[in-house]
Amino acid sequence: MARIALINQKGGVGKTTTTFNLGAALARRGFRVLLVDLDPQAHLTYHAGIAAHELELTLLDVLTGEATLSEVVCLRNEQLHLVPSNLGLSRAQKVLTEPGSEFLLREALEGHDGYDFVLMDCPPQLGILSINALVAARHVLVPVYPEFLSLAGLSQLLQTVEIVTRRLNPRLELMGVLITNFDQRKNLHHEAAGSLRERFPEWVFQTVIRTNVALAEAPSYGQSIFEYAPTSLGAQDYEALAGELLLRLQSREVRHDPKPLGTPSGRQSP
């Protein structure tokens, strides 16, 4: 199982869009994917077409021990599942105060090995929910806009990841930095992307997510980009991202289960 936390302390950089559409791209390849919505705004939950405000059980019930993960999971389709959120999750900072609260999500995921991927959509604050994701994760994926201020913010985030790795989760690794909302017509975006690649040459994905209106429209229909606009630039980019992510996992040999990487659950490797 590959557990990936999608995180950036800056909001509006495409974390939720990437979590949902990357998950959908992996599910299209036959992988079983679990999405976890750790943001009280519940954008991921709404993006999946689920009315968050009507839910009786959410991630908060899992973290407080009032429900199991299996009781809370919503089935988007056979391959793509979701642990939903709603505004009640904003209470997490107040109710998750006991020692060891940073490990609650990791403990909840134990025993749920039927998934090939767990993608965790983190809130823009580095509070108890984001720390839970970093402790539960094996990898970190950082979406960033191609702006020069992203460089400073990325450095701060990487320092936080380093602290969590040192103190709470020694197996945590940076998967990569993903440039989102890239406008090929803007010189500023090309310059910022070049600076990111120069400063973090090993970590910036070759795939970029280009500016695409369909990506902004799809959530209002509760659809992935592959359902809403399957021939769009957004669909092309997230399909390419899924392929590059699989190659990165394979080349770094970071999978720790006996099943060969690239072999979805229930399939035989070629």
Report mean pLDDT in 10-residue bins for the chain, 270 residues: 92 93 97 97 96 94 94 91 95 90 95 92 92 97 88 84 94 95 94 91 94 96 97 98 95 46 40
Asked whether residue 104 is assigned to any structural domain, the reply reads yes
pLDDT value of residue 200: 87
Asked whether residue 151 is assigned to any structural domain, the reply reads yes
pLDDT value of residue 266: 44
Could you give the CA distance from residue 10 to residue 52 in angstroms, rounded to a whole number? 23
Say how many domains are in the chain: 1
Q: Determine how β-strand 80-83 pairs with β-strand 74-75.
A: antiparallel
Asked whether residue 208 is assigned to any structural domain, the reply reads yes
**What are the structure tokens assigned to 263, written together?**
């072999």
Asked whether residue 265 is assigned to any structural domain, the reply reads no
pLDDT value of residue 252: 66
Report the CATH number at residue 155: 3.40.50.300
If you search the block for the tokens 């970093």, which residue do you land on? 134
The letter for the amino acid at 94 is K
Integer-rounded Cα radius of gyration of the chain: 17
Asked whether residue 266 is assigned to any structural domain, the reply reads no
Asked whether residue 29 is assigned to any structural domain, the reply reads yes
| Contact (CB, 8 A) for 46 and 7 | no
Q: Which residues constitute the domain of residue 212?
A: 2-251
Asked whether residue 237 is assigned to any structural domain, the reply reads yes
> Rounded to the nearest 5°, which phi and psi values hold at 78?
-60, -35
Q: Please state the length of the chain.
A: 270
| Contact (CB, 8 A) for 238 and 223 | no
What pTM, to 2 d.p., does this model score?
A: 0.91
**What are the structure tokens assigned to 177, written together?**
């930095």
Alpha carbon 40 to its chain centroid, in Å, reads 15
